[in-house]
Amino acid sequence: MYHNEIEPLIAYYDELGLLRRVDVPGARQLNDVTVAPGGRVFASDSASGAIFEIPREGDARELVPSNVIRGSNGLAASPDGKRLYVGHSTGIALI
């Protein structure tokens, strides 16, 4: 189960019995969350368009900088975990 607040992102890894809090510096309005195979968490910042990756261990990183994807809202990881689909104000971006 994954839960998201404005900042920080809280990720619950139920299958491991682990609760982990992850700060996402620079995030303004975290909105959508998806989980890729292997447990990587991705979160979109609807205010800036940035996309963040949160690995199972370690710090969050900005995968797509602010203002590159306008109005990011809606994330989906491909079944093989190699691609991330991002819905945005004018279509779908493939990362």
Confidence (pLDDT) at 27:
84
Task: Kindly list the distances between the CA atom of residue 30 and the CA atoms of 17, 55, 87, in Å, as whole numbers in the listed order.
Answer: 24, 16, 14
What is the pLDDT, as a whole number, of residue 26? 83
Q: Is the pLDDT of residue 63 over 90?
A: yes
Q: Which two tokens stand for residue 39?
A: 């447990």
Average pLDDT over residues 51-77: 88
